[in-house]
Structure 1
Amino acid sequence: MEDKPQNTGKVFDADVIKRLFTFVKPYLKTFYFIVFLTFASAILAAVRPFLIQYTVDNEILQNDWEGLNKMFVILAVLLVGHAIVQYLHTYFAGWLGQHVVRDIRVQLYRHILNLRLKFFDRTPIGTLVTRNVSDVETLSDVFSEGLAAMIGDILQLVFILGFMFYIDWELALVSLSTFPIMLVSTYIFKEKIKDTFQDVRTAVARLNSFVQEHITGMSIVQIFNNEKREMEKFKEINKEHTRANVRSVLYYSVYFPVAEIIGAAGLGLLVWYGAHGVIDNDVSLGTLMAFILYIQMFFRPIRMIADRFNTLQLGVVSTERLMRLLDSKEMIPDNGSYAPEKIKGNVNFKDVWFAYKDEDWVLRNISLDVKAGESVAFVGATGAGKTSVINLLNRFYEINSGQILIDGHDIKEYNLDVLRHHIGVVLQDVFLFSGTIADNISLGNKAITEEQMWHAADLVGARKFIERLPGGLHYQVMERGATLSVGQRQLISFVRAMVYNPEIIILDEATSSVDSETEELIQYAIDQLMHGRTSIVIAHRLSTIQKADKIIVMDRGEIKEMGNHEELLRHEGYYAQLYHMQYKNMIDL
């Protein structure tokens, strides 16, 4: 999913607006109240000059002090009422926007959590961050500064025009003589700023993607002394972002002075023509004063509508992007209803074929049986398909053909949460979240107590190192566990797997990144974790899998050999060759 410029020509895209307003349904009373306030504000604003005209012509010029006092009270009440209406409108429009944003962001994040890994394989994280933060935040402006405000401005213009033509249609035409010029300049500004805003959005997405990716991979940048080159790339992306923003500043700096001049010209014509009318007794003084107020009120929303228009356009574009993400079907279907509390752990692969893309097969005709409580190890060169096997067992990806069974039931029959609850996974690259060790072990599951965590830590031999840390289980782990060693992170992952007590345990290269001394400790943890469970192990170090009940040798997505350690050595095939190669390297060392 790339951040390509969108066609923003359609502002009132009915389908997009309809989808957006589905999120307003829970707050319909508030929405209708905002609509009422919008009408009330427009009417109250437009009626004020009309009352001033009446006051001047019928009270001031007629020396009616009693009537003047009454009109003063009415105008004061009107002003206070209008201020209250504006306050309520601003508050509730903002309130509605924030609640809609909250609901969309929750739904979007829930959707992202359920997307299959294939989606994340080809979608930059920065793009998803932009969707979930920036694009969603734009929708708040649609409600608080875009749609509601623009409708209010249009209504105000309609009421102002109605009062102007009702009072004096000739003076109204003179007042609006510069309106076509204002309309043309506003349209040109709208078109220019629309393209610029889209460039800004694209530049923001590129910045997010670049910064996120390079901060995550900062160790590689520094290891290969690549800081200067990456800095130059960042400068170029940042320069594009700056250029887009400067263009928008340029258009604003040109448009608003031009609009001010056009408005002033219209006011000048009105005063010139109206003054002649007052002198000739064709126009009353109150009418002229009312028109001066009206023309100032008229051109202000015209200037603002262009800005509101682009805010609405950006909202529509953001909505299209969000809905496209929400409509993505790249989710593992969770239609299964089988939800056993316990499973035995029998695993069967029957003629399984799998490809990440089209027919570029990663696994070819894989068939194997793993009995409950049995330990099975996968070996083979990088890219042989070992990790794909465990990804399919957890339904992180869907197979193209064949069948995978657990205890005789197709994994598609299982409720997805239940299936993954019964399968524990310990990866080579352990990911730890910012928070305490306890948070990383329980993953927010409040049903898991500290006593259970300590018990699990005892079983895998991790208690000593956890106790040495300041705060023990409450030690604050930095992002990705940066303050812990590889071995310590690995041990925490074992505690995490043990505390969830799965019937099937998967170990993916769990000892390939640690030293020999730490490996002994981890090997003990592995033995404890595997005890009494169906175990599937992937390892490059053959010394760690010699005790496995069954060793499966894979090459280019196919099973080449299968048997225990002694059987495969006697066979003198691929496994024996790999074993002797590793043994020779150890002797040479």
Structure 2
Amino acid sequence: MSKENVWGRLTEYARPFQKQILGALFLLLLGTSAELAGPFLAKVMIDNHILAIQKPWYQLDEVPPQAAGQVASVNGTNYIREDVAAKTGLGLDRINQKEVTVLTEGTTYYLVSGKVNPNTEKQFTPIMPENGRERFEVTTKDQSGQKMTSTGIRLTAEEVKAMYQGDVLPIVWLSVGYGALILLSAGFNYVQILWLQKIAQRIIQQMRMKLFIHLQKLPVSFFDKTPVGALVSRVSNDTEAIRELYVSVLATFVQNGLYLIGILIALYILQPELALFCFLTVPVLVLLVYVYQRYSSRYYAVIRAKLGDMNTTINEMIQNMTIVQAFRREKGVQKEFADVNEDYFKVRMKEINLESLLLRPAVDLIWKISLTLIVWYYGSTSFHSVISFGALFAFVDYMGRFFEPINMIMNRLSQMQQATISAGRVFEIMDETTEKKEAGAQIERPRGEVVFDNVSFAYQGDDYVLKNVSFTAQPGQTIALVGHTGSGKSSLMNLLLGFYPVTKGSILIDGQDMRQIDTHSLRSHVGLVLQDPFLFTGSIGFNIRMYKDTITDEEVKRAAKAVRADEFISKLPGGYDEPVVERGMTLSAGQRQLISFARALAADPAMLILDEATASIDSETELAIQEALHVLSKGRTTFIIAHRLSTIQHADQILVLSRGEIMERGTHDELMAQNGLYQKMYQLQQGSASVESA
């Protein structure tokens, strides 16, 4: 299945939730915008307020009213900053024009006469104090490299506060704004993550439900060739991988995609050259993504297949633990699992090596090289005022934020690949052809006339297991099928239940071709008891009722009494409410068989199929069931597949099969009189029985 088809179908599953998804993505946009606005506030705080003290200051002869609170008094002289003077509308005639500069050396501030570049190299030399104030000679270099000398004084803490008095409130408000943006971003992200998680859970819930329902509609032939572990892996593991696609991958790609766009815009506003430099790294990153996707898709397809193989091995081992331990094949099973586990480990390591090379390490290398070049170039040129410190700080912050979402996206690529492969595996199952509902509508309760008219059947090709089988079962009759293993007895019943289509010939139910009858409707009138009964987790009453709530408790008990199951059920602590563990392993084989027999009878079917139904029942219980069958089979067409010929002597018609053909037919007495295959089989069993009794 192509990736385009997979993504198209995944989109269809998300379509019913598109409004909720768009709402979550809008919150994601708000949260991302709030987070991206933070460095801008930091830049404004640094350049316009924290480092604004280093801007030119001018001496004031008098303080005008509009400048009140914006003027700093140092050593008895009033000073106003250049940008503040422009804001308050002071003209040049109101300013003394004597320019001073504030320089910093660690946490010490100096007021220096003249215009001095605060970003150049500085040397402070103490000179003769004046009026009790420490004085310094400051040596700097201009842009041409010529030395310049100025004099200045060390500022006290109070004087520094005075020079910052107009900036304290804006710094506080900008800090509050920065914190508010962080809280808003966290709040928006929390809500959108919650929404996306809920939406993803709903999508996967529906997908699993559709997959589970679809599995129930698949023909039995599909389960004959598909391991149970592989199916369990697709219903559980693969759908869980798809859930991560809707939660982690979708949110990560959208959020970090918005991050990248916003960061590139912010970088362009800060410094176009820097934004262009970031753009140059994009082709390299796209190449990494292309190479990773090309090779990882191969590995993940094998990984999911190997995981299914492991689940299959584990399932087989658990289901057949009795056989494994009885034959002491633990080491053999361990070796088989170790081989599968080793194969999974090897292909997993190949994927990990690829991921380790092309994802975060490669991106981190590009990021570190880019950052080194930027800091080296613009950091050195910032001494000549090419870029402000605040802009450089914001740029470094944005550069980190630029590569972090790329790392997040690259890290999610592996999950996206897993989800895509898993979705393809799930959709492969859902594309399997289900049992066709034939042209006929629902069938009413049939009388029970069954006609096999020259029926031939092959599971594959021309290898026929049934050849020109013809017989008629009248309503209420009991038809017994006997024969050696592989003679076609069970295949006949599989055709009657519609598990497989007839290859040649036809089967008629009350004169109507089975091809014209809805098989699901037909099965509702057929009771089935298998040689190996399966009980579901629940209670005994639940297993007799088998999801059919219309069956009352009285009908459950009546069916159980008819097959003598009530005798042991009533002795259990919980009676009919006694819990049944998986496969009913706390009950004996005979007890499980009696419960499955009661299950078939409680459904009140028009036809009964007993496939070696008495094989697991002792002789005493078998006699009781035979008595019940004489009563319960009245009005029902009953098919008995039997190996023990002593249980079918009452049958109205016995069909002896060999290699897919009916060799003999008749009642027990008629067949014994023919001195044929049936007689030999009966005598062999009677001889075995005599030897055993002796």
TM-score, with length taken from structure 1: 0.92
Q: Is the 8 A contact 1:375 1:549 kept in 2?
A: yes
Whether 2:162 is the aligned partner of 1:59: answer no
Cα distance, 1:248 vs structure 2: 4.8
| Partner residue in 1 for 2:259 | 156
Whether 2:629 is the aligned partner of 1:523: answer no
Whether 2:306 is the aligned partner of 1:316: answer no
The SS at the match of 2:24 is helix
| Partner residue in 2 for 1:47 | 37
Instruction: Tell me, in whole angstroms, the C-alpha distance in 2 between the residues paired with 1:343 and 1:177.
Output: 77
Question: What pairs with 1:83-482 in structure 2 (closer than 5 Å)?
Answer: 83-174=186-277, 194-250=297-353, 256-257=360-361, 259-340=363-444, 342-482=445-585
Whether 2:607 is the aligned partner of 1:501: answer no
Q: Any idea what the Cα deviations from partners look like across 1:95-137, whole Å, max 9, x if unmatched? A: 1111111000000000001111100000000110011001111
Letter in 2 for 1:43: S
Q: Is the 8 A contact 2:310 2:340 kept in 1?
A: yes
Cα distance, 1:560 vs structure 2: 1.7
Instruction: Tell me, in whole angstroms, the C-alpha distance in 2 between the residues paired with 1:496 and 1:164.
Output: 74
Instruction: Tell me, in whole angstroms, the C-alpha distance in 2 between the residues paired with 1:55 and 1:336.
Output: 80
Cα distance, 1:432 vs structure 2: 1.0
Q: Which consecutive residues of structure 1, in runs of 5 or more, have no partner in the other structure? A: 1-5
Q: Any idea what the Cα deviations from partners look like across 1:415-449, whole Å, max 9, x if unmatched? A: 33331111111111111112211121111222222
Letter in 2 for 1:391: N
| Partner residue in 1 for 2:19 | 29
Instruction: Tell me, in whole angstroms, the C-alpha distance in 1 between the residues paired with 2:362 and 2:10.
Output: 35
Cα distance, 1:251 vs structure 2: 5.2
Cα distance, 1:192 vs structure 2: 5.9
Instruction: Tell me, in whole angstroms, the C-alpha distance in 1 between the residues paired with 2:284 and 2:621.
Output: 78
- Structure 1 window deviating more from structure 2 (176-185 vs 555-564): it is 176-185
| Partner residue in 1 for 2:130 | none
Letter in 2 for 1:285: F
Instruction: Tell me, in whole angstroms, the C-alpha distance in 2 between the residues paired with 1:438 and 1:419.
Output: 25
Q: Is the 8 A contact 1:553 1:561 kept in 2?
A: yes
The SS at the match of 1:337 is coil
Q: Is the 8 A contact 1:365 1:558 kept in 2?
A: yes
The SS at the match of 2:471 is strand
Instruction: Tell me, in whole angstroms, the C-alpha distance in 2 between the residues paired with 1:431 and 1:276.
Output: 80
TM-score, with length taken from structure 2: 0.79
Cα distance, 1:414 vs structure 2: 3.1
Instruction: Tell me, in whole angstroms, the C-alpha distance in 2 between the residues paired with 1:37 and 1:518.
Output: 69
- Structure 1 window deviating more from structure 2 (409-418 vs 375-384): it is 409-418
Q: Any idea what the Cα deviations from partners look like across 1:501-542, whole Å, max 9, x if unmatched? A: 111111111122333233323333433432332111111111
Cα distance, 1:252 vs structure 2: 5.4
Instruction: Tell me, in whole angstroms, the C-alpha distance in 1 between the residues paired with 2:547 and 2:247.
Output: 35
Q: Any idea what the Cα deviations from partners look like across 1:7-54, whole Å, max 9, x if unmatched? A: xxx7xx322111111111221211221332343344333332233223
Q: Is the 8 A contact 1:436 1:476 kept in 2?
A: yes
Instruction: Tell me, in whole angstroms, the C-alpha distance in 1 between the residues paired with 2:51 and 2:27.
Output: 35
The SS at the match of 1:353 is strand
| Partner residue in 2 for 1:3 | none
Q: Is the 8 A contact 1:147 1:312 kept in 2?
A: no
Instruction: Tell me, in whole angstroms, the C-alpha distance in 1 between the residues paired with 2:600 and 2:580.
Output: 18
- Structure 1 window deviating more from structure 2 (136-145 vs 457-466): it is 457-466
Give the number of equivalent residue pairs: 578
Letter in 1 for 2:225: R
Q: CA RMSD in A?
A: 2.3
Letter in 2 for 1:549: D
- Structure 1 window deviating more from structure 2 (187-196 vs 47-56): it is 187-196
Counterpart selection for 1:534 from 627, 630, 637: 637
Instruction: Tell me, in whole angstroms, the C-alpha distance in 1 between the residues paired with 2:210 and 2:261.
Output: 39
- Structure 1 window deviating more from structure 2 (29-38 vs 384-393): it is 29-38
Cα distance, 1:452 vs structure 2: 1.6
Cα distance, 1:489 vs structure 2: 1.0
Instruction: Tell me, in whole angstroms, the C-alpha distance in 2 between the residues paired with 1:272 and 1:524.
Output: 99
Instruction: Tell me, in whole angstroms, the C-alpha distance in 1 between the residues paired with 2:549 and 2:332.
Output: 46
Q: Any idea what the Cα deviations from partners look like across 1:203-226, whole Å, max 9, x if unmatched? A: 311110100012111222122221
Q: Is the 8 A contact 1:176 1:266 kept in 2?
A: no
Q: Is the 8 A contact 1:477 1:483 kept in 2?
A: yes
Say if 1:306 and 1:191 are closer, same or farther in 2 by CA, change over 3 A: farther
The SS at the match of 2:13 is coil
Q: Any idea what the Cα deviations from partners look like across 1:461-499, whole Å, max 9, x if unmatched? A: 111111122211122222222121121111101111111
Cα distance, 1:68 vs structure 2: 3.0
The SS at the match of 1:487 is helix
Instruction: Tell me, in whole angstroms, the C-alpha distance in 1 between the residues paired with 2:574 and 2:227.
Output: 36
| Partner residue in 2 for 1:586 | 689
Instruction: Tell me, in whole angstroms, the C-alpha distance in 2 between the residues paired with 1:173 and 1:338.
Output: 71
User: Could you say which structure has the higher strand fraction?
Assistant: 2
Q: Which consecutive residues of structure 2, in runs of 5 or more, have no partner in the other structure? A: 53-163
Q: Is the 8 A contact 2:31 2:184 kept in 1?
A: no
Letter in 2 for 1:24: A
Cα distance, 1:583 vs structure 2: 2.4
What percent of counterpart residues are identical? 37
Instruction: Tell me, in whole angstroms, the C-alpha distance in 2 between the residues paired with 1:318 and 1:296.
Output: 33
User: Could you say which structure has the higher helix fraction?
Assistant: 1
The SS at the match of 2:605 is coil
Q: Is the 8 A contact 2:610 2:641 kept in 1?
A: yes
The SS at the match of 2:528 is strand
Instruction: Tell me, in whole angstroms, the C-alpha distance in 1 between the residues paired with 2:293 and 2:422.
Output: 18
Instruction: Tell me, in whole angstroms, the C-alpha distance in 1 between the residues paired with 2:463 and 2:278.
Output: 71
Letter in 2 for 1:270: I
Cα distance, 1:194 vs structure 2: 4.9
The SS at the match of 1:24 is helix
- Structure 1 window deviating more from structure 2 (13-22 vs 522-531): it is 522-531
- Structure 1 window deviating more from structure 2 (498-507 vs 35-44): it is 35-44
The SS at the match of 1:345 is coil
Say if 1:15 and 1:277 are closer, same or farther in 2 by CA, change over 3 A: same
Cα distance, 1:185 vs structure 2: 5.6
Letter in 2 for 1:165: Y
Query: Which is greater in Rg?
Result: 2
Say if 1:228 and 1:89 are closer, same or farther in 2 by CA, change over 3 A: same
Cα distance, 1:397 vs structure 2: 1.3
Instruction: Tell me, in whole angstroms, the C-alpha distance in 2 between the residues paired with 1:276 and 1:316.
Output: 48
Q: Is the 8 A contact 1:189 1:251 kept in 2?
A: yes
Letter in 1 for 2:394: A
The SS at the match of 2:258 is helix
Cα distance, 1:387 vs structure 2: 0.9
